[in-house]
Amino acid sequence: MLLILTTVAILLLCGIAALLFRRNHQIASTFGVAGPVLACGLGMIPTIRVLSGGIVDPVHMSWGMPLGAFSIGLDGLSALFLLP
């Protein structure tokens, strides 16, 4: 599950980098294309693992919010929606 969170971080960081380099079109295009391709490729690893019957460990993090902890997991139905 940590790999899914990493893909979201890669998407955000590459989007910000493309925005920062908007005056240099070649660098901005490289970040704008390579980032999502890399993130989607990494995101397919846990997706295929779950769809083939495996289990991905969920992430549980406690935080100071009064409504509980941050929990994220990947089951078969949510993995189906991650397919391209």
Number of domains in the chain: 1
DSSP 8-state code for residue 69:
-
Give the type of residue at 33. V
| pLDDT value of residue 26 | 96
Does the pLDDT at position 69 exceed 80? yes
Q: Residue 10 has what pLDDT?
A: 97
Determine the Cα–Cα distance for residues 15 and 10; give it in Å rounded to an integer: 8
Domain that holds residue 78: 2-82
Question: What is the pTM for the complete model shown?
Answer: 0.81
Question: Which pLDDT score is estimated for 56?
Answer: 85
pLDDT tens sequence across 12-64: 999 999 999 999 999 999 999 999 999 999 999 999 999 999 888 898 888 87
| pLDDT exceeds cutoff 90 at 71 | no
